[in-house]
Structure formats: C-alpha cells, structure tokens
Chains A and B, each alone.
Chain A
C-alpha cells in the first residue's frame, strides 16, 4: 500500500466520479486544456480521455518543459558543448531533442561531455569536482524547477564557484495561458491547472483568467481520480454558470503557494519575455538571471550566438501545443517521427504530447 497514491487510483471511486460526470450533461462541445506534462502523461496512460462523454475534448497545452524549449536554445547548448573544457550538465530528457542540425545526444556520441543530472545540485557538485572545467547547466522548466535552479545559483554565488553557470531558458505559466486564451484559433472552455507549478506559485496566478476571461481554472493532482474530479469540477462550474478558480489538489497546493520558494526565485531572477517553441515570443513568460548574478549566466559569460535556426517545416509541434491539432493529424507522426527518431521535441520527453500519444493512444 502506497500512502497518498493507492486511494487516488481506486477503481470504484473512479467509476463513481465518471457516473457523476455523465450526469452533468452539457450539450455543447467543451475543450478542456491541461498545461502540464505530468497531466498529459496521466490522462493518456490511464485513458481518462476515453472514459468521459465524447463532447468533452481534452487538449494538451504547452506544459512539457522540453517541448516548449525553442531550437535556438538547443542550438546554443550544442554550440557551448563544442567549446574547450566544457561539461554540459542537463536533465536527461534534453538529450535527444533535435536542434537545427544536431542534438546533445549526437554531440555526446561524437565525444563532447554531457552529464545527466537528477538535480541542479548534482551540477554544482560536478563543478566543484572539476575545477579546470566550465560546468554549464541547462536551466529549463517552469515555476516548479525555477527555485531549484535559484538555489544552485545561490550556492555558486555564496561559495564562489567560478566554473558554474546556467543557460537560462526558464518559462512561467500565467502569461502563456493568457496567450492561448487570446488565440482565436482555439476556444478553451476550462483549464486543468498544473499541480506542481501551483505548489510553488499558489493558485492566485489563475485569478485573472477565471475572473476576467470567465474560464474555469481547477488545479489538479496527477492521479486518475484527481483528474476525473478536476474535470467534474470544471463541468459543474460551466453547468452552473459559476466560473471560479478552484483547487482539487488541496493536499499539496494552496492559494498562496510556497513563499520560501517564491522569495528565492525573486532574489535570483527577473521576469522577461520568452520564446516558446511553435508559439513564439510571449511577453512576461520567462525568467532571466539578474545582473547581480551575471557571472553565473552562461548567456553573458560566453557571449554565445546562433545565427540561424531551422525547424522541419512538416513538424506541427506548435499547433499541437496550442491544442489546435492532435498528434495523429501530423504527417510525420509514427511514420517518420518516433521516440527513437524524434523530429520534434514533443516526441522526445516522457511528458511530451506526441510521445504519450505514441505510447498509449490507439490513434
């Protein structure tokens, strides 16, 4: 028995919630979007999308950190890996992501040094153990990951670890969600809000979307019963025309979030515009390292430039991450683009939309 897990996977409870969902009966087609790779994985792994009425369409938004990272960033990291005495430190799922011409995996096979880290502190440790090398950590992720990168940078600063830096590609959720709300190619009727982003930020970041754009926002946990409950809560809001910002995942998330984590994020980073793969530049949707920590900012330290980036024109990752298309509508999906030979980032990560459709969906 695993505490706080088994009870959220109980079949009888799941069946009861599904019956309740079916009783809500909304005639219109409803688009519910999640913006978290963990939710994408759970929905497809447990077949949640097949258990609910057909007019409820579950869409995967830009919630997988690797998937939203643009080619420009991948190309920069490959460029950095080619410098002398450099160790690229990264979370494992960045390895296979194709850039314009290569991937870190291919460069590693060609002899460049790429170390997989489970935590940012592994990267700091690598820097301490290799004083003659420059250790560059690939800092990608959302608000959930930002504080752990901030902690690593603060350690490097306090302990004067001169050979550690971060190539910062961090992104933040609220303005990206807002960009999707304003995108007239897709109508979103409800958001399944990301559970662990919310653990850090608090659910207050969704107030604007719920209050001013009248879109239900419900912060969800990751187990099948969490997701079914969240879908039920969104549908009830729509049925009762009582739109609000709610939390299903109350055992972990609250309205104000983790204040300690927010403080360290604000100490190290400034809000900035950010480039999202397939979506483009969104104002206030990223974090950059403050000038006072500039010597740990790989972008400034190495003045790296990439002149031109290329993407496969047939890859529709961008449309998929905006909920406009499903992976099965991509000409490359399962034919050319597979987990062993990914064309787009969405096929690489364990949290990627295409990777999960490939693994779990019949279509």
Chain B
C-alpha cells in the first residue's frame, strides 16, 4: 500500500497530479497537501500525496552522512 519512494510532481490538473519515478508515471490525488508545485518531490501513499520532501532537511541529513564517513575514515 505504501510506496515509500519520493516521486517528482510533473503535472497538476486541479486536485489530480502526475508524478514520475524513473520512467514510470502515476496519477496522485493532491487534496491532502498545501500548494503543490511542479518539480517538487512528494511522498505518495495509496494514490494520495501525503507530504512534500523537505529539501533543506534532506541536505542537512546528507551532510551528516558525509561527516560520519569522514569520521570513520579519519
């Protein structure tokens, strides 16, 4: 039921959107999120976008991974 994979919003038509992952497109309902915009990455559950990926937090997390790798190799 739960596609835990973030998918990119490529089209908006009212409350419907099209998201893509790799070469596959899915239709999603956008009624549960605020102001969806083309190009945003969405978390999709059972045909509904339930949130947007927070880009800033994702960058911070990746920075943390880099730090862990550097500490281990130091």
A and B are interacting partners: yes
Which residues on A are within 8 Å of B, measured CB to CB?
A: 2-5, 7, 10, 12-13, 15-17, 19-20, 37-38, 42, 65, 91, 93, 118-122, 141, 144-145, 147-148, 151, 195-196, 199-200, 221-223, 225, 250-254, 258, 260-261, 264, 351
A3 engages B65 (CB within 8 Å) = no
Please indicate the chain B residues that have their CB under 8 angstroms from the CB of A252 in the complex. Answer: 6, 43, 51, 53-54
A264 engages B50 (CB within 8 Å) = no
> Interface readout for B20-39 with A: 1 if CB under 8 Å, 0 if not?
01100000010111100000
A144 engages B50 (CB within 8 Å) = yes
B53 engages A119 (CB within 8 Å) = no
Is B13 in contact with chain A by the CB < 8 A criterion?
Answer: no
Select B50's contact among A7, A120, A147, A351, beta carbons within 8 Å. Answer: A147
A121 engages B68 (CB within 8 Å) = no
B4 engages A260 (CB within 8 Å) = no
Please indicate the chain B residues that have their CB under 8 angstroms from the CB of A195 in the complex. Answer: 4
B4 engages A121 (CB within 8 Å) = no
Tell me the dominant secondary structure on chain A's binding face.
Answer: helix
A145 engages B1 (CB within 8 Å) = yes
A118 engages B57 (CB within 8 Å) = no
B65 engages A13 (CB within 8 Å) = yes
A260 engages B2 (CB within 8 Å) = no
A151 engages B32 (CB within 8 Å) = yes
Given A65-B1, A151-B31, A20 contacting B48 (CB threshold 8 A):
no
Select B58's contact among A91, A141, A196, A251, beta carbons within 8 Å. Answer: A251
14 A-B pairs, CB-CB below 8 angstroms? Answer: A3-B41, A16-B65, A16-B72, A38-B2, A121-B47, A199-B50, A251-B54, A251-B57, A252-B43, A252-B53, A253-B51, A254-B54, A260-B32, A351-B2
The CA-CA distance from A296 to B47 in the complex, in Å, is 21
The CA-CA distance from A10 to B43 in the complex, in Å, is 21
Which residues on B are within 8 Å of A, measured CB to CB?
A: 1-2, 4-6, 8, 21-22, 29, 31-34, 41, 43, 45-48, 50-51, 53-54, 57-58, 60-62, 65, 68-69, 71-73
The CA-CA distance from A20 to B70 in the complex, in Å, is 12
B6 engages A148 (CB within 8 Å) = no
The CA-CA distance from A118 to B28 in the complex, in Å, is 10
A10 engages B65 (CB within 8 Å) = yes
A4 engages B48 (CB within 8 Å) = no
A148 engages B54 (CB within 8 Å) = no
Please indicate the chain A residues that have their CB under 8 angstroms from the CB of B54 in the complex. Answer: 250-252, 254
B45 engages A145 (CB within 8 Å) = yes
B46 engages A258 (CB within 8 Å) = no
Chain B, residue nearest A20 (CB) = B68
CB distance from A283 to the nearest CB of B (A): 26
Please indicate the chain B residues that have their CB under 8 angstroms from the CB of A37 in the complex. Answer: 2
Select B6's contact among A4, A16, A258, A351, beta carbons within 8 Å. Answer: A4
Given A141-B46, A148-B48, A196 contacting B4 (CB threshold 8 A):
yes
Please indicate the chain A residues that have their CB under 8 angstroms from the CB of B33 in the complex. Answer: 258, 260
Select B41's contact among A4, A10, A200, A351, beta carbons within 8 Å. Answer: A4
The CA-CA distance from A144 to B46 in the complex, in Å, is 9
Please indicate the chain A residues that have their CB under 8 angstroms from the CB of B50 in the complex. Answer: 144, 147, 196, 199-200, 258, 261
Please indicate the chain B residues that have their CB under 8 angstroms from the CB of A199 in the complex. Answer: 43, 50-51
A19 engages B72 (CB within 8 Å) = yes
A5 engages B6 (CB within 8 Å) = yes
B46 engages A119 (CB within 8 Å) = yes
Given A199-B50, A199-B51, A144 contacting B4 (CB threshold 8 A):
no
Please indicate the chain A residues that have their CB under 8 angstroms from the CB of B58 in the complex. Answer: 4, 251
The CA-CA distance from A260 to B2 in the complex, in Å, is 20
The CA-CA distance from A76 to B2 in the complex, in Å, is 25
Please indicate the chain B residues that have their CB under 8 angstroms from the CB of A148 in the complex. Answer: 29, 32, 45-48
B4 engages A222 (CB within 8 Å) = yes
B68 engages A258 (CB within 8 Å) = no
A13 engages B48 (CB within 8 Å) = no
Please indicate the chain B residues that have their CB under 8 angstroms from the CB of A221 in the complex. Answer: 4
